[in-house]
Each structure stands twice: as C-alpha cells, then as structure tokens.
Amino acid sequence: MEKLDFGPERVSPSGNITAAGVINQLGRPGLDVLEVLTRESVQNSWDARQPGARNQVHFGLTGWQLTDMQRKALRDFVFVDCPPAESLPLKLALKAPALHALIVSDRGTIGLGGPTRADLPTTTGEPRDFVDFLRNVGQPPEKKLSGGTYGYGKAALYRASTVHTILVHTRCEWKGRLESRFIASALGQPYGRGQFTGRFWWGQEKKGVVEPLLGTAADKLAAVLGFPPFEGNDCGTSILILQPVYAAAAADFNGGHVDRTPRQSLSTMAEFMLWYFWPKLIAYGRRRPTMKFTVQYEGEPVQIPAPADYPPLAGYVQAMHRIKDDEIGASIFPGTVQDIASQRPIMTLGRLALQRFPVSSHRGFDTGISDDDTSAHFASLTHHTALMRQPELVVKYLAGPLPVSGQLGYAGVFITSVDADEAYASSEPPAHDDWVPKALEDKRHKRLVNAGLREIKAAMEAFAKPATGTQPAGELAPLGAFARRLGASLLPSVAGPAAVSPFTTRRPTDHRGLGEGGPAKPMKDEQEDEYNIETPGLPLPPQPPEPMPPTVTPVRLPRARVEVVSSRPLAVGGGRRLEISFTVKHAPGSAGTKVTISPRALLDDGQVESEPPAGAVVPEVLQWVSPQGARYAGSPSTYIAAGVTGIWRVLVSIPEDVFLHVDLAAEAQV
C-alpha cells in the first residue's frame, strides 16, 4: 500500500470559510450529537438513493475498537503527516491505548460521483456529489422534495468524532464505469497566523490538490481498515468516524448526561433510526420497505423491531396505513383521515390521519436510560402527530392534548402536499428537526406553515375529546377480554392492556405537614389498611409490564382552579386503584373551594359512558387525603378551606375490564 499525501488548505487571496465555520453550520441544536448524526446520515443516504421504485436503500452502523494492525495502518499509511496539535489533536489520538471507530454506510445509493475537484465544471444532469460532500459547503440539493443539504449534513459527521476526522470509501459510476474512491478529511482550527483554514485532506496530490485514492488501491486500503466491501456492481458510501463521541454526547431530555457504553451508544442510534425513519420500514401491499437498517457493535447485532410490532409506534403505523388508504394495516380502533387546508390562499397543505390505539408497556433499547424514564424517547409517545414532508421522514412529533385514558392513546401522521412542501422545507432549521414559521421571510410561506400547524392542532384537540354515549342495555363490554383478543395481531410481544390487571405495587408519596382541610370527619384508623399497600400480610399481585398510568383531564371553572400533579395506578389487596395528586388555587376572596371528581368508564369506541348499564360495577371514590396525610371518607366532592395549600390526593377504584376516564372540577365557595 502506498502512503497518502497530506494537504492542508491554504487561505486564498479572496478568502475561505474556515473549518470552524463548517463545524458551526448546524448551529447548536437541542439534540444529542448521536441523534443529529443519525438523522443527517440516514437523510443523506435517502437523498442519494438510486432511481427506481423497487430499489431498497441499505443503511448500516458498525462500531468496534480498532485492532493493532488497523491502528498501525492508520499511522503508517493514512496519517503519516498530521497538522500541529494546536489545530487538530489527531497525532495524540493515534497514540492512545484504545482507538474506536464507527462506520456509517449505505448501499443501493449512487455513491459520491462526479468530479473530484471543485473547479471542474459539469454539464446539466451530471453529479457533483463528491465535491459537494468533501469540498464545498452549503450546496442546495438538486433533487426536488429531498431531505437536506450536504453542507449541513456533513458537519454532523465531523462533530461526532472527538478529533473531527473522517475517512471516506465510496463507489460510484463516473464516465461510464464503476470507480472506487478513498480519501480522509478533518476539520481543525485555523493556524499559521491565518495562513491555513483548518481544513485537511489525505489522499494523492495531483497538481497541487489532494485527490482521492482510486480503484483497487482504494478498495485495498479500505479493506485493511475494516470498511465493508462492495459486492458485485454495488454503489454506495462508507464513512469511518474516528474516535467517535459516545458517552460524552449522551445528553438526556432533562439536560443531564447519561453514562453510555459504546454498545449502548449504537443501541441509542438504532432507537433514533426507529424514532425518525419508521415510515421507511413499512411494507405496503406486496412491496417491500424502501429502507433496511442494520446495526452492530463488535460483530454483535442490535435488533431493530418492525415498527408495527413495536408498541409505541403501532398506532402511528396504523395511521400511516390509513393515510395511504391501505386496508392491510388498518386498525379496528377508531380513526380519521382529513385534508389540512389554508383559506388564504385556498390551498391543500397536506393530509392528516389520526388513530386511537391501546397503550402498552414495552421493552425498549438498552440505551442507558430506563424505559419509564421521562427522558426516554418512547416513554410518553401517546398523544402526538408525526410531522413529515414529502420524503416521509419524521421532522418532529407535535404533542396534542393528553389522552382521556392512560390505556387508550392516539397517534397522528401529517404529510405535506407536493405544492406546500417547499414552504415547510424552508421553515426547517439546519438540523431539520422543527417547522419554525417565524423564521421565514417569505410571507406566503409563513402563512402556509402557520395555517397548517394551527389546523393540525385543532384537529388533534377535536379528536382527543371523547364523545359522551350510553352503553346499550345489558352487560358492560369487557374491554380486557376485547384487548386480549387483539393481542395476537396488534401487540404480539407484550401483555394485554390494563384491564388484565397489570398494575404493580408502589408506595404512595407522603405529603404530610403541608396544610389542613377536607371533610369534617376523618376515617377510622382501621380503614387505612385498605389504602396502605405495605400492610404486613397483604397479598401482592404478579408484576407484568406496567402500562402508561391513566391520565386525568382537569376541568377549570371560573376563578377557582384544580391542577393535576400526577396520576398512577396502584395494586391493593388484589384490587386496582387510581391515585390522583392535585393542588387547588382558590379564587381570591372565597371561603374555600369545592372539588368534585367524576370517574366514568371509557367505551371501546373512545366515548365516555354517560349512563352505566344496569348491574354494572362502576368506579367509586374511596378516599381523600389531605396534604398532612389525614384520610377522609370517599364521596364525589370535598371542601377545601381557603388558605390551605399543598398536594391533595384522591383514591378511585378501577373496575375489572374497564378503561377509566376521570374529570376534576373546582368551584369557588363563598
């Protein structure tokens, strides 16, 4: 193998963009570094797909610790010459006891074709992918309805390396034949009193420019370094990120940091793939999915479930089938499909599908964050709409009103129309993770984006509100058995919903000493045993996976207000209870507040039952608990004197085979 030449970029008389400018192209998105890397890499691979409806893009991630031979090859053949340490700490990294690599690769794409020098012209229709990726910055995509730009996507690759260094192996069709190319690139700090920009390449120097290694020489060096080979006439690109950022980049949604192992980092990226790109993994009719994902660390694969079989995404997949008018994936739970339009100008902006689905516990990816942690991606995806443009890549999940029951959520999918796609694309920040109409200068585009978001939110609010209905005379429909019958088709990998008694036992939060109030007569001490779930000798039920706890819809009346702090299910002596914690804001000048709770059954069509059938077991209010911990007999209402502050709790029974909906109301008392 021949040694590669080193080519630092000199500042031209007319000026250049520095390496720091390239790194900062993405700004400072509020996302995990690995999340941005996953989004940008998959998006770029999708945009580079080969033409043809039957083509499938294969996207892969491979992580491992470099062998001694691979490290020696880097030192002796690739990075023989390095920039000064004050610009790039590459030489120090090569001497470290351990050196890790992460390869991002795709097949079924066109590779990085076109000229290898930015100053060479091309004719209309000829690719310029190589120079757009390795040389230029911020080139707009030539494909219509594409996901992003090379200028921003490549910054994510460099930022994912602690030494801002990548190695690229690609195969493309150029001048009528297949051509392999290999080049290394890095972004450091400007140095030499402003003479060098901090952009570096390693390859073959030709006419003062470092060009890529070509043909067999490129394939041979890539093989030694552990790159996946190209099979047959495959085209595509593999990018090795040297010394990838793993645990240091693991910021959770609460702003803290999570300690991740390298394998957990690969699992995190696999989760991000599912979070943003599940639409590409759906098969419609007899067609196979348009993308295939593989992830492995040290040769061991990370399993990526099919979205339809993954409980947090099952409802979204069903909504997507609705929006595609595909009956194969349709759900028996209620759902709607509608056009979203603007009135000024009159224009269809896109299509929205909303779908109810049973919320279930799930076993997620091993990312270093537990599944029930609020910072986990899929922990609360029960009342959102996945926003997409024409490429059908998830931009973000727009939250709607909380579901009326923690056992039955709703999922939405919105896809922009072809005519409106440009407006929404222009509203995206560099990380492509939001629609921000206020950042638009084009007033027409701003109106379209604002109108679309407004109409989507209105549709979600209308869909989230349960209709009130009366169950026909006779026995109450056993929703638990109904859910069990659905288990084989809707939730094949988890236990049935809450009607099958999946509640686990927890100790209630103690809020003693926070104030006085409540009904006049406290309950007898012996009655506390029913509420105290840690009473000795009390039998505990089995502990299968726990569903999302039922949620509560606060009803606010003028002046007085009740706010729900939390709600959670409890298992008590074989029975099931719902504990609701709340606070009260008294109306100014009032003597106190009357708080009323209305627990009712939620029917399988999403309606709230107004009149229970004769003989049906109905939910009951069991206890009210003051901030001091005093317990009072259950009744639909309680009076809380003005001036009393703190967190109150109320305990409600959950009948077997019932989805529960609860309203809380506050009324000022004079």
How would residue 255 be classed by pLDDT, with cut points 50, 70 and 90?
A: very low
pLDDT at position 610 over 60: yes
Longest dimension (CA), the chain: 94
* Residue 257 to residue 236: CA distance in whole angstroms: 35
5-118+126-245 folds as Heat Shock Protein 90 (3.30.565)
**At 71, is the secondary structure helix, strand, or coil?**
helix
- pLDDT tens-digit series, residues 140-185: 545 544 444 434 568 889 999 999 999 999 999 999 999 999 999 9
- pLDDT tens-digit series, residues 188-239: 998 888 789 899 999 999 998 999 999 999 999 999 999 999 999 999 999 9
Residue 476's pLDDT is 34
Stretch 435-440: mean pLDDT? 92
Tokens of 597: 């709770």
Q: Tokens 């007033």 label which residue?
A: 443
pTM, two decimal places: 0.71
Cα–Cα separations (whole angstroms), residue 238 to 157, 172, 263, 579:
12, 12, 20, 53
- Phi-psi label, residue 533: left if phi above 0, alpha if psi -120 to 50, beta otherwise: alpha
Residue 505's pLDDT is 26
Beta strands in 256-299 (DSSP E): 291-297
How would residue 565 be classed by pLDDT, with cut points 50, 70 and 90?
A: confident
Beta strands in 66-140 (DSSP E): 100-107
Residue 347 host element (H or E): strand 346-358
The string over 301-330, giving b where at least 16 C-beta atoms fall within 10 Å of a residue's C-beta and e elsewhere, is: ebebbbbbebbbbbbbbbbbbbbbeeeebe
Residue 501's pLDDT is 26
- Phi-psi label, residue 643: left if phi above 0, alpha if psi -120 to 50, beta otherwise: left
Top pLDDT among 320 and 522 is at 320
* Residue 132 to residue 117: CA distance in whole angstroms: 10
* Whether the Cβ atoms of residue 162 and residue 33 lie closer than 8 Å to each other: no
Query: Does domain 502-669 correspond to CATH entry 1.10.3470?
Result: no
Q: Which of 144-148, 460-464, 496-500 bottoms out in mean pLDDT, i.e. has the lowest?
A: 496-500
Q: Where in the chain is the domain with CATH 2.60.40?
A: 502-669
- Phi-psi label, residue 276: left if phi above 0, alpha if psi -120 to 50, beta otherwise: alpha
Top pLDDT among 558 and 433 is at 433
Residue 548's pLDDT is 45
CB atoms within 10 A of CB 16: 17
- pLDDT tens-digit series, residues 619-629: 889 999 999 88
pLDDT at position 502 over 50: no
* Residue 535 to residue 529: CA distance in whole angstroms: 6
Q: Where in the chain is the domain with CATH 3.30.565?
A: 5-118+126-245
**At 218, is the secondary structure helix, strand, or coil?**
helix
pLDDT at position 90 over 60: yes
Residue 434's pLDDT is 92
